Amino acid sequence: MRTALIGYGLGGAAFHAPFLAAAEGLRLSAVVTGNPERQAEVRSRYPDAEVIASVDEVWRRADEFDLVVVTTPNRFHAEHARAALEHGLNAVVDKPFAGSAAQARALAELAAGRGLLLAPFHNRRWDGDFRTVRRLVAEGALGRVHRFESRFERWRPEVKDSWKESGDPADLGSIVFDLGTHLVDQAIALFGRPRSVYAEVRVLRSGARADDDAFLALTHEGGAVSHLWASALANDLGPRFRVLGDRAAFVSHGMDPQEDALKAGATPGGPGWGEAASPASLGGTPVPLDPGAYQDFYAAVAQGRSPVPVADAVTGLEVLEAAFESARTARTISL
C-alpha cells in the first residue's frame, strides 16, 4: 500500500514512519511536512520517500496513494481523515480519533459507505504490560476482575509553549484527550462499553491553560470498575497497572520501553524488541511481562484490517465527553 504520512512531529517520526518503512505490504511513499528541519530528517532517514510540503498536494495526487496516516495536531484529525476518505483513500488516524463522538460516527459511516479501511491508531493496546494484563484476564488467572487501576503519570511542572498546552478547546489540548484517550481505550478493550462515568478534571500547574490532571471512574456492565489517572504533576508515580480479581492481583510498575527506543531511533521488531525489565507480580510472585509489539498494528493494516474497531474509538469519545460533563457538574453520567 502506497502510504502518505501526514505530519512528522513526534508521532510521525517515532510512532508511524519507522513501522510504515518496516512493515511488509506497506511502502512509505511520501511524508508531508512544511518544516525544513523535519524535511531534512526525512530525506536523511527515508531517502526513498518523497517530501511534500502541503497536504493539499496529497489530495490533488490521491490516485498515487492507497493509504493516508493522519498524525497532525489534534484539531485537524477529523478534517484530514474526512478529506482522505472523500478522495478514496484508506486512513489511519492518530488519537484522539476525532474531536467528538458525532464526528467519529460520521467518519465511520463515510468509510463504510465507500468500502474504505479506517483505523484508529490506539497503539497502547500493544504495550507489553497491557498485553500481559489482557492475556491474564482472558485466561482467568485473576478470577473475576472487580477493579482495574491504570495510570499515566508524569512529573512535568513546567508548562511548555505548545498546542498541546493550549487553552483553546478547538486544539483538544487537554490531558484527557492525550493520555486519557489511551487509558479509556485500554479499559474498553478489556471490559467493553461502560455504563457510567465519573470524572475529576483540573488545571493544576501555575500558568497552565489546558487540563493537566484527571481521574476517571468507569463502571462496566460486568461489574468491573476502571479507575484511571492521568497527570502532569505527579512527583511520586503510582503503579502503571493494579488489577484486582477474586482469585489474584496483577501489579506492574514503569513504562513500556518501545516509546523510548523509538525516540532514540531504534528500528522496530528486531531481537529483544519490546522486552521490559519493569517489575511486575501476579499474586505477589514476580512475573515477566509479554513483549510490546507496536509492529502488530501496521501488520494488520497491511492485510487490509483495522486492528482497532472504529466502534471502540466512538465509544471512547463518548466516555471522554461524559467525563468532561461529569467534571463540570460533579455528577456521575450514564452512557
Query: What distance in Å separates the CA atoms of residue 189 and residue 100, rounded to the nearest whole number?
Result: 19
Query: What distance in Å separates the CA atoms of residue 169 and residue 214, rounded to the nearest whole number?
Result: 16
Query: What distance in Å separates the CA atoms of residue 209 and residue 304, rounded to the nearest whole number?
Result: 40
Instruction: Return the C-alpha cell found at 251.
Output: 501489579
User: What was the pLDDT predicted at 3?
Assistant: 98
pLDDT at 331 over 90: yes
Residue 4's DSSP bridge partners are 30, 68
**Residues carrying CATH 3.30.360.10, the chain:** 124-295+305-334
Q: 280-282 and 118-121 as β-strands: parallel, antiparallel, unpaired?
A: unpaired
pLDDT at 307 over 90: yes
User: What was the pLDDT predicted at 267?
Assistant: 87
User: What was the pLDDT predicted at 278?
Assistant: 83
**First-last CA distance in the chain:** 38
For the chain, state the CA radius of gyration: 20
**Residues carrying CATH 3.40.50.720, the chain:** 2-121
pLDDT at 277 over 90: no
Instruction: Return the C-alpha cell found at 94.
Output: 492518530
- pLDDT tens-digit map of 35-52: 999 999 999 999 999 999
Entry pTM: 0.95
- pLDDT tens-digit map of 147-193: 999 999 999 999 998 898 899 999 999 999 999 999 999 999 999 99
- pLDDT tens-digit map of 105-120: 999 999 999 999 999 9
User: What was the pLDDT predicted at 271?
Assistant: 87
User: What was the pLDDT predicted at 269?
Assistant: 83
Yes or no: is domain 124-295+305-334 CATH 3.30.360.10?
A: yes
Q: Provide the 8-state DSSP code for 209.
A: -
**Consecutive H or E run containing 310:** helix 310-329
- Give the residue from 146, 131, 271, 120 showing the smallest Cα distance to 219: 146
Could you give the percent of the chain with pLDDT greater than 90? 95
φ and ψ at residue 182, rounded to 5 degrees: -65, -45
CATH number of 2-121: 3.40.50.720
User: What was the pLDDT predicted at 303?
Assistant: 96
